[in-house]
Structure 1
Amino acid sequence: MAPSATTTVTETVAPPQTLKTPGFFGAYKELAPTEYSKEAEEGKTGFEAAKYPHYLPTWNPEQKYEPLKPFQHYDHGKDGDTSYSDLLPNTSQVTDLTPTIGTEVRGVQLSFLSDAGKDQLARYVAERKVVAFRGQDFADLPISEALKFGGYFGRHHIHPTSGSPEGHPEVHLVHRGAGDKSAEAFFQARTSSVAWHSDVSYEQQPPGTTFLYILDKPETGGDTLFCNAAEAYNRLSPLFQERLHGLQATHSGIEQVAAAVAKGSIKRREPVVTAHPIVRTHPATGEKALYINPQFTRDIVGMKKEESDMLLKFLYDHIAYGADFQARVKWEEGTVVVWDNRVTQHSALVDWKTGQRRHLARITPQAERPYETPV
């Protein structure tokens, strides 16, 4: 287990200030403020108290980690029986949100799954790309139990900058506190909060099967968009697909860390830049998917800037405009959303103005290094 966080929540919780320059980075995790009002979270300012105060974010500057070391990942989706009998019993209710991406499941308790059920979960999510499981007990489990469940799917990723529950740096928190109005400043400079990305794609071994569960939510708003990056690849012509095969693009964590530090956040590890194939192969399904995103991808290896910018912009626009291979997940109490970070992109939406709290926790198992199989 990584070292425990020791930051104490005081009247206003914030990491030590280093730079005063406010910074906005596109991905929602960096839009969220790195401070919150203790009184608001305790319900003393007209808003309800936080339902899960032990999940409120802390930033411990003593958390310093060495660069991530390579590890051998085994994808349990390879072993998943596609009858899904251990995952989806006859009593479950399964509703597909769209033909190509997104499913809602009721009547299944993830925390009760056997190893066979977990294998099927990995395969099912790889097939459906994102699955919203309703009526879950994740938020009410001890954090250590939720982490034990997630650890079955890979090594836990510790985010370089984000807030985490005290003592559990492996849990990434998405938190916009009660009464927070920082989005108003953001929209003075931007017209939209949509920011498509694949989480921490700059790591040598980015996440695979990923879990995000709701702790607190506004009455309406704060939905999450998901895109099927495998279908985005399939929509391209064979000639265009052939042009992409063998190309690599760099993914950078430098800007995300810089934006966080500029807002006074911590830096747990030095940022990295990694080259990954633009088209990657899923180890369980064999599907090929586009693996570039405007938040972290910087350029195509071996191309001149104008050439790289032109090609990447086409791919970004292709994904952003592809409403017919996207799904919108609405949050409700007790929801755990599971997606495959290798074959999807997502974006949270900042579209509510009530000042109500939005609080979620993410468990982020790392997977294999991206690769492309020969055509």
Structure 2
Amino acid sequence: MSATTTVTQSALTLRATEEKKASTGSTRPQKLRWWGETGESEEAYPYRHFLPFFDKELRLPPLTPFKHFDPGHDALKHEDPQSFLAHADVDELTPDFGSEVSGIQLHELDTVGRQQLALYVAQRGVVAFRDQDFADQDQTWMIQDWCRFFGRPHIHPCSGAPKGHPEFHLVYRDAKAVYNYETDSRLTSTVWHSDVTYEEQPPGLTLLFLFDSPASGGDTAYADQRGAYNHLSPSLRSYLETLSAVHSGVEQAEYSRGGNRGGVVKREPVQTIHPIVRRHPVTGEKALFVNRQFTRYIVGLKREESDALLELLYTHIERGTDFQVRLRHRPRTVIAWDNRVTAHSAIIDFAKGGSRRHGARITPQAERPFL
């Protein structure tokens, strides 16, 4: 049986609970369930072709610079830059940050729709698209068509990927295995970060979709780095705009070399200097661009000064509930965020139950951060 056939059957299985009402006479719709809730055998798991594979032979050269053009620029020229949402149901989670959208299919968007999507996600920061068929699409299409529209596909230097498709970054945890960059050495599993900021050209519009998840828990929290910046006093904002910081992938690589995750380092780690405040290339908005996971120190400050200032910013981002949202990964949800203006953290509140959390991230690289 082919992967495409299996996934199609999965879609039908997941939708079957909604259709059950037709045979029972019930008028109450039944919610979709994760695969782990269906009671089906593990051998029948329809997303086995998306399970993590760690290619110990793959050695990638250093990334080279490229010119990036954000498709959101073109959406600014449209008479109605949000026309792709004309028939959608939109729920704004806060006035300035985060939305939930239903009634459109991402994989059906044309060029204009994708341009408007890029602009909309840049404006809202993070958007959860519900009831999507995206996870059932062809893997090659996801990377060569979808991802490349928004930027150069990034291959993560350490994470697992579906065999033959290294451009996917997979998240995976169950009762027996953890293939994520996480530890149990802290009081909380929450680690706020923006993805792979150690790269010279970190990601822009990013997608995450889960194939399986606990019935509850395993949410993702998002913070608006624009809101974090705007909450600071004008004098501190002005000072931060004069500073740059070092972002490092060395510690993540050494974690994998120590036998964690999958024990693979596919590309040698780098350290890169980025401005502490960056400007979005389309909206022009300013945002903080530091995170506890990858930012190491501020260039030109003494260690104690750098540590104190970074700790202030990290704590501010982590405690800023007035510029944060927490999104639940319901079945058939795709979450899109702009990695340039947001930070996020997985919430590992399900680990003791042993449930599986399995998903994929599509990560297009964007421009080098600038102010």
Q: Same fold (TM over 0.5)?
A: yes
Q: Is structure 2 residue 331 aligned with structure 1 residue 336? A: no
Q: Distance in 2 between matches of 1:365 and 1:226?
A: 19
Tell me which amino acid in the other structure corresponds to 2:370.
Y
Identity in percent: 51
Q: Could you tell me the TM-score, scaled by structure 1's length?
A: 0.84
2-structure distance, mates of 1:242, 1:85:
33
Q: Does the CA-based 8 Å contact 1:82-1:120 persist in structure 2?
A: no
Match of 1:318 in 2: 316
Q: Which residue pairs with 2:148 in the alignment?
A: 151
After TM superposition, the structure 1 stretch with the greater mean CA deviation from structure 2, 346-355 or 170-179, is 170-179
Q: What residue is the counterpart of 2:8 in the other structure?
A: none
| Partner secondary structure for residue 105 of structure 1 | strand
Tell me, in whole angstroms, the C-alpha distance in 1 between the residues paired with 2:106 and 2:141: 12
Give the match's secondary structure for 1:266: coil
Structure 1 residue 48: Cα displacement: 8.4
Which residue of structure 2 lines up, in the alignment, with residue 258 of structure 1? 254
Contact 1:250 1:300 in 2 (8 A): yes
Q: 1-side partners of 2:164 and 2:175: how far apart? A: 23
Gaps of 5+ in 2: 1-35
Whole-angstrom distance in 2 between the partners of 1:47 and 1:179: 14
Cα distance in 2, alignment partners of residues 121 and 178 from structure 1: 37
| Count of residue pairs brought into register by the alignment | 328
Superimposed CA distance per residue, residues 310-344 of structure 1 (whole angstroms, 9 cap, x where no aligned partner)? 10000001100000000000011111100000000
Instruction: Note closer, same or farther for the CA distance 1:301–1:48 as it changes in structure 2 (3 Å cut).
Output: same
SS in structure 2 opposite 1:163? coil
Instruction: Give the conservation status (yes or no) of the 8 Å contact 1:92–1:106.
Output: yes
Tell me which residue corresponds to 2:167: 170
Q: What do residues 248-269 of structure 1 show as CA deviations (whole Å, max 9, x unaligned)?
A: 0000000001011112511111
> 97-106 vs 46-55, which deviates more?
46-55
Residue 63 (structure 1) shift? 1.1
Within-5 A mapping of 1:1-375 = 50-80=45-75, 81=78, 83-89=80-86, 91-147=87-143, 148-177=145-174, 180=177, 186-187=183-184, 189-264=185-260, 265-352=263-350, 353-372=352-371
**Larger helix fraction of residues:** 2
TM-superposed CA distance for 1:181, in Å, is 8.4
Q: 1:143 to 1:300 in 2, by over 3 A?
A: same
How far the C-alpha of 1:47 sits from its partner, in A, is 6.6
Using a 3 Å threshold, how does the CA distance of structure 1 residues 46 and 182 change in structure 2: closer, same or farther? farther
1:148-187 residue CA offsets vs partner (Å, 9 max, x unmatched): 212100000000010000000000000113555899x954
Determine helix, strand or coil for the equivalent of 1:87. helix
Cα pair distance change 1:347/1:59, threshold 3 Å = same
SS at match of 1:233: helix
Offset, 1:79: 1.2
Counterpart Cα distance in 2 of 1:338 and 1:45: 30
Q: Distance in 1 between matches of 2:361 and 2:84?
A: 21
Task: Give 5+ residue unaligned stretches, structure 1.
Answer: 1-40
Task: Measure, in 2, the Cα distance between the counterparts of 1:261 and 1:215.
Answer: 28
Query: CA offset at residue 98 of structure 1?
Result: 1.3
SS in 2 for 1:79: helix
CA distance in 2, matches of 1:302, 1:181: 38
- Residue 137 of structure 1, CA deviation: 1.1
Asked if structure 1 preserves the Cα contact closer than 8 Å seen for 2:101 and 2:127, the reply is yes
Contact 1:180–1:355 at 8 Å: present in 2 too?
no
- Name the Cα RMSD after superposition: 2.1
